[in-house]
Structure 1
Amino acid sequence: MGTLKEMLSSSERIVFLTGAGVSVPSGIPDYRSKNGLYTGRKNPEYLLSATCLREEPDVFYAFVRDNMYYPDAKPNAIHEKMAEIERRDGKQVTVVTQNIDGLHGLAGSRNVVEFHGSLYRCHCQKCGATVRAEQYLESDKHAECGGGIIRPDVVLYEEGLPEDAINGALHAVTQADLIVIVGTSFKVSPFCNLTDYRKKGSAVFAVNQELLRLPFPFTMIQDDAVSVFKEL
């Protein structure tokens, strides 16, 4: 097996599996690290649960509005290089991301499977209307239908994953010549199970500051992902 740069050059179908560490260099905190979103909070999973949204919508809204949105964040070298590989080399590239910040799309990636949804798509739970994120950040009450509660289209604790996201991710992984795991501990199911469906002979690389231990042969690049992707 060659280097990551060589494999990217020789592979026609590439899948990037990305996690929160990809967006940290853009100023968006991850969840469980020392300076992550969950640090110092009591039962943070509850604040991002379907129960909290249903029973304490004001508590849910305040937490999401004040802690989850980074509208000024810009794509970094990782997002940009993934999009560039698709544009420059004409590869069939799919990004399957756990991130809900929309930065892969902003960077220009055309085939993005947002496994857990996006903060920048919202809808009213009462009338079903699509609502702009900018409107949601002003109020979670949908005035147009008499005050229905608006929510972002993200997967909360206690909710299942969208079927189209699962199908899109599986289709990409089963076709891939090369799978590159970036910026994730790769421990959260079912995201970490996607590689179980890789085709025979596909190569797997992981780029992460934390050492990953996977139950199959792969190449580990234990380094800062920004530095690695700048060199590709």
Structure 2
Amino acid sequence: MHDTINQAVKKIKASRSLVFLTGAGVSVPSGIPDYRSLSGVYQGIAAPEYLLSHTCLKEEPDKFYAFVKKLYHPSARPNIIHEQIAALEKEKYVTVVSQNIDGLHQAAGSQNIVNFHGSLYHCYCQNCGETVPVAEYLKSDKHFCGGQIRPDIVLYEEALDEQNVSKSIQAIATADAIVVVGTSLKVYPFSGLIQYQAPNAELIVINQEPLYLNYPHLMVTEKAEVVFKKISNKENH
């Protein structure tokens, strides 16, 4: 185990251009539950997939709003993973492509981020298009113009932002190392991004459960915070 951790740390430190593909597991140490644990929130009423769908937003806005408010964790702070990814930007070209909608990569100081599924922290009125502060949205989803406010996240049945997809593909195609952190890579098209890696690029996977990919990769079956503490250790330089 320690051998794979050390290999991953060396490969990350040796790279010049890095892409981090991050998922819910990155934010768990910050106190944000992963997606699967949300399945019990409305148990017996509807699946989370429906509650986070365009149909629910349009047809049952009150139910949508009640569920989405549970996704906000205002007291959550970036952890060692977010912090070290941001710190690596000072010495390498780093792109973060994240499935997460919690804003913690930004809070840690990362600059070059693709929020693949949008962000809870950008809200707007669907009627007039005005941007609305999150604090106001958490008090009410009704705008003064009469429209309904929503967060700028990609719901089920909605299309991804094409610019986000193309930027992600370009970053992966030009990186010499791709690091998958805290995601099972089961959600498409996010999971399909690794197919665009350059032939000589290193693929490193850090996840508590082993992933079985059709590409050569270094699998580190460990909590991501353990690996990132090693990266921050000065003696590894």
Q: Does the alignment reach a TM-score above 0.5?
A: yes
Residue equivalent to 1:214? 213
What secondary structure, in the 3-state scheme, does the structure 2 residue paired with 1:158 have? coil
Per-residue CA deviations over 1:51-87 (Å, capped at 9, x if unaligned) read: 000001111001111x100011000000001001112
Residue equivalent to 2:106? 105
- Displacement after TM superposition at 1:7 (Å): 1.4
C-alpha distance in 1 between matches for 2:139 and 2:127: 18
Determine if the alignment matches structure 1 residue 15 to structure 2 residue 19: yes
Relative to the length of structure 2, the TM-score reads 0.92
C-alpha distance in 1 between matches for 2:15 and 2:228: 17
Describe how 1:89-168 pairs up with structure 2 within 5 A. 89=91, 91-143=92-144, 145=145, 147-168=146-167
User: Which 5+ residue runs of structure 2 have no aligned equivalent?
Assistant: 232-237
Q: After TM superposition, which residue ranges in structure 1, 4 or more long, deviate above 4 angstroms?
A: none
Contact 2:114 2:164 in 1 (8 A): yes
C-alpha distance in 2 between matches for 1:31 and 1:216: 26
Residue equivalent to 1:231? 230
- Displacement after TM superposition at 1:10 (Å): 1.7
Determine if the alignment matches structure 1 residue 44 to structure 2 residue 48: yes
Figure out how many residues of one structure are paired with residues of the other and give that number.
224
What percentage of aligned pairs have identical amino acids?
55
Relative to the length of structure 1, the TM-score reads 0.94
Contact 2:9 2:227 in 1 (8 A): no
Which of 72, 77, 80 aligns to 2:80? It is 77
Residue equivalent to 1:198? 197
C-alpha distance in 2 between matches for 1:197 and 1:183: 20
- Displacement after TM superposition at 1:9 (Å): 2.0
Per-residue CA deviations over 1:116-172 (Å, capped at 9, x if unaligned) read: 0000001100001111111100100001x2x20000000000001011110111111
